[in-house]
Chain A
Amino acid sequence: MIGTKSRDTLAEAVADADALAPASSRPGVLRALLGHRTGVVGLVIVVVVALVALAAPLLAPDDPTRVDALRRLAPPSPDAPLGTDNLGRDILSRLIWGARLSLGTAGLAALLILTIGVGLGMIAGFYGGLLDDLLMRVVDVLLAFPALILALAIAGVLGPSIASVMIGIVTVAWADYARVMRGQVLAARERQYVEAARATGVRDARILARHLLPNVLPPILVLASLEMGGLILTISGLSFLGLGAQPPTPEWGAMLNDGRAFIGSAPQLMLFPGLAISIVVVGFNLLGDGLRDAFDPHLRD
């Protein structure tokens, strides 16, 4: 389930809304999103978690790596609002700092995926020809892999760390975006504003940056927001397998892994990180749905 997820939401979104509305309806998008009830819930969740991540040093009541063997496995109390873990570390503080890592890694990975995928997809779609063929074959090869396994293999080769997990994921995941982007560019290229720009002798790079990108990017951003949830699950899954964040770094997946042995005796160790992951993923999924509906009015609730 993990790892297939990211691939899935994307394909789902593509298959689903096939025709993500062209950019003509854009001015209304933000208003549409704000009028979209669940979309707003998603937006709020994401913004709140992002703020928590940013303000981690201010919000966290304790040092997330401070070991105190004398207060291990303490239940929630005023001293440690969500209890302590098997080394007496404050779970709330670890969750707050973990938000930084989980969200930051997923965000950075998404940014890299977008940049590479969008860039190569645009080049392939705009220039066509041999370059296009070559790029798309590479995309086909990457798409023929179970993403998690390839990410695992790459992370395994580079040694376990959060960076190698990210490299592994990015190596695989850009392919999807390149394919979708290429399709968008192919469709947009036929439209008049590109023809017009070309006719007036504007350079290719300028056409790409000034005319094409703003028109084809929004639907891709929708896909990205839909994929964020999957990305977070994939990263925490790799950490759960021991390939991602290394101790004592607080990361939600790794926290779940550490908490396993206490599922019967100190459930807070598994309950809270699990809830944290779920809530953030729900947030991104709702936001993505909202954005998609905002772009595609006839599916709107």
Chain B
Amino acid sequence: MLRKRRVLRAAVMGLVALIVATACSGTTGGPGATGTAKAELAAVQELTVATAADGYRNDDKRTTIGMYPLNANIFDTLVTLSPDYQVMPGLATKWEFRSPNTYRFTLRSGVKFHDGTPFTSKDVVWSIQRIAKQGGGTVGVSEQSAVAVDDLTVDITPKGQNLRALQQLVHPTWSIAKAGSDAAKPMGTGPFKFVEYVKDQRIVVEANDDYWGGKPTLRKITFRFIPDANTRVLALQAGEVQISDIPKESAKTITGDFTVSRSKVGAYEAIYVKIRPKEGYDLGQDKAVRQALAYAIDKKQVVESVWQGNAEVIQTMIPPAILGSEAGRITGTDRDVAKAKKILDDAGWKAASDGIREKNGRKLQLTMVVGFPNADTHKPMPEFAQAQLKEIGIDAKIVTTPDTASYEARLAKGDGDLWVEAGSQNDGNPCFLPDLLFSSPIPGGDEESNMYGNSFAPGESFDATIKRCREATSTADVQKAAADAMKLLVDEQFVVIPLAGTYRINGISKKVLDFVVHPAGVQQRWDSVKLAK
């Protein structure tokens, strides 16, 4: 009996010791090389990167291997987006706008595809036509939109009036592939050549030494799909991968041989809550409810406490880097409990005995859907927001979806009141996010845009502002129209609450040099990266 107890105790102690030892020990610190020029380069330049679940589509309708959402730098686009949101030359060296609705691109000469065939205007025409067959994408192209003027000149004329085409073409879905190539074997002009793609496991690329932008130092990159964010962090700490995007909550865990790399202030991924004012979830039709929601959440605490400073308070989803000085015109909202309560009181929403407000026998209960691009991105903000909504008498039920696909499936059904998303400024068009998320659906238009617009479009006056944005010719006018659109959404209609601008956070090994985090994940470049000894 006594002996047994001793054995038991020893076993329990052992287990606890094991847990504590493994859990508490960080990685041992080592001399980290963060400099660039002076560091000696490693002989083997092979990088392994951990990314979230495999999001590539590969079906008859749409194939995005190597392009989106993970940009493996196999392809180039005509124009690219710098980390401070400037449109830069890519496969096109020059462009000119030709009234009323055409962009003429002068293509880079001497560029070769990975199989050695020269890149010409017919590849551009073919790639644009492929998107036209899939519905026309964000630009809204038809099969006649792209016209080869000569071997190195292409005209692109969108179906409808759209002067933002240039800024939209930076998005990797507008990648230029070799005419007639098989999408399952990506053939591009980018700094890396496709080696293999194993669904749900990895995509591997190797250096393209003939790259027009210069030979990359890295010889090979393996991108591994690891759906569990915590496993990604552990894979980084175990030295299995050298770069991984990590949840904001894990940033503190990254110490020792590893460091955290953030995109810079002012260029962020916006976290926002959209309010669906459509049938089935009609509580959002009540403007007072929307307005009260906007005043309920303490953005400062979200940023400083919940996310430990890995974000900034925002009043617009469009980063100031791209909205310019117009950003200041959007007043926005911040936590004001008294005001929120008064708005609800005045609108006839009275608190019942359980503290939850009621009107005409209907409880103020809202469903909050969290999951774009995945639920981990937002943790634990939704629960924090839930607690704050409760304080003003709103009962929010949280529903999480694990990944983008399931979030969008739910969105297509419109099943929910509040929609928590992270929106990246993925192209150079200031109106990108408001247009994508709030424009009224156009029959036969871009599928993705229609899906979002279906649920949230505020209607005619917003659409008119977006139209102005699409048709503006000067940067100042575009920014003005974009700001007007945001003002309408945030200050007048309260259909979206911008909460926080989060910096893209990557945990990286200190051996990784010259890795510049792009604020838009899909624009991430890998060809400057090197590995130190």
Contact B306 A261 (CB under 8 A): no
B247 partner, pick from A67, A261, A264, beta carbons under 8 A: A261
A115 interfacial by beta-carbon distance below 8 Å: no
**Given A69-B305, A261-B247; A247-B23 close (CB under 8 Å):** no
Contacting residue for A69 out of B247, B301, B375, B400, CB 8 A: B301
Shortest beta-carbon distance from A16 to chain B in Å:
22
- Most interface-central of B1, B301, B380 (chain A CB within 10 A): B380
Asked if A69 contacts B384 (CB within 8 A), the reply is yes
* B148 interface contact, C-beta 8 A: no
Given contacts A248-B387, A260-B230, A261-B250, contact A70 B399 (CB under 8 A): no
* CA distance in complex: A88, B305 (Å): 10
CA distance A67 to B384 in the complex (A): 7
Interface assignment of B229: CB less than 8 Å from any CB of chain A: yes
Contact with B along A88-124 (1 / 0, CB 8 A): 1000000000000000000000000000000000000
- B298's nearest neighbour on chain A, judged by CB, is A69
Contact: B375 with A247, CB < 8 Å? no
Stretch at the interface among A19-27, A185-193, A265-273: A265-273
The answer to whether A87 and B383 have CB atoms under 8 Å apart is: yes
Distance A66 CA – B386 CA, assembled complex (angstroms): 11
Q: How far is the CA of A270 from the CA of B24 in the complex (A)?
A: 12
B253 in the interface, Cβ–Cβ < 8 Å? yes
Would you give the 0/1 interface string for B389-410, flagging 1 where the beta carbon is closer than 8 Å to chain A? 0000000011110100000000
The reply to whether A265 and B252 form a contact with Cβ atoms under 8 Å apart is yes
Complex-state Cα separation, A199 to B392, whole angstroms: 71
Interface contact A247-B386, CB-CB below 8 Å: yes
Could you tell me if A261 and B233 are in contact, using CB atoms closer than 8 angstroms? yes
Q: Which of A104-149 contact B (CB under 8 A)?
A: none
Measured between C-beta atoms, what is the minimum distance from A116 to chain B in Å? Answer: 29
What 0/1 readout, one digit per residue, does chain B (1-42) give for beta carbons within 8 Å of chain A?
A: 100100000000000000110011010000000000000000
Q: Give the interface SS of chain B, mostly helix, strand, loop or mixed.
A: helix
Contact with A along B232-250 (1 / 0, CB 8 A): 0100010000000001011
A61 within 8 A of B: no
Chain B residues positioned under 8 Å from A265 (CB to CB): 250, 252-253
Given contacts A37-B1, A69-B306, A247-B386, contact A242 B402 (CB under 8 A): yes
A interface residues, tally (CB under 8 Å): 27
CB < 8 Å neighbour of A262 from B19, B26, B249, B301: B249
**Cβ of A183 < 8 Å from any Cβ of B?**
no
A72 at the interface (CB under 8 A from B): yes
A261-B229 contact in complex given A37-B1, A86-B249, A242-B400, C-beta closer than 8 Å: yes
Taken together as a complex, chains A and B put the C-alpha atoms of A72 and B386 apart, in Å, by 16
Residues of A within 8 A of B301 (CB): 69
Q: Is the CB of B399 within 8 A of A160?
A: yes
Please give, as numbers and ranges, the residues of chain A lying within 8 Å of B247 by CB-CB distance: 261
Cβ of A126 to closest chain B Cβ, rounded Å: 44
C-alpha gap A33/B301 in the complex (Å) = 55
B380/A258 in contact, CB under 8 A = yes
Closest A residue by C-beta to B254? A264
Closest chain-A Cβ to B170's Cβ sits at a distance in Å of: 33
Q: How far is the CA of A264 from the CA of B237 in the complex (A)?
A: 10
Complexed CA–CA distance, A192 and B116 (Å): 91
Q: Which of B19, B380, B399, B402 contacts A86 (CB 8 A)?
A: B380
Asked whether B23 lies within 8 Å of A270 as measured between CB atoms, the reply is: yes
B382 at the binding interface (Cβ < 8 Å): yes
* Shortest distance between the CB of B132 and any CB in chain A (Å): 37
A4 within 8 A of B: no
Cα separation A292 to B18 with both chains bound (whole Å)? 32
Within 8 A of B (CB), among A65-93: 65-67, 69-70, 72, 86-88
Are A248 and B386 touching (Cβ within 8 A)? Answer: yes
Separation in Å of the B510 CB from the closest CB of chain A? 17
Contact of A67 among B20, B23, B250, B387 (CB under 8 A): B387
Interface contact A242-B305, CB-CB below 8 Å: no
Residue B278, interface by CB 8 Å: no
| Given A86-B249, A264-B233, A267-B23, 20 other A-B residues pairs in contact with their CB atoms under 8 A | A37-B4, A67-B383, A67-B384, A67-B387, A69-B301, A69-B305, A69-B306, A69-B384, A70-B305, A72-B305, A87-B306, A87-B384, A88-B305, A246-B397, A248-B386, A260-B229, A261-B247, A261-B250, A262-B253, A271-B23
Binding site for B on A (CB under 8 A): 37, 65-67, 69-70, 72, 86-88, 159-160, 242, 246-248, 258, 260-265, 267, 270-271, 274
Kindly list the 5 A-B residue pairs having the minimum CB-CB distance in the complex, ordered from nearest. A69-B305, A267-B23, A67-B387, A264-B253, A261-B249
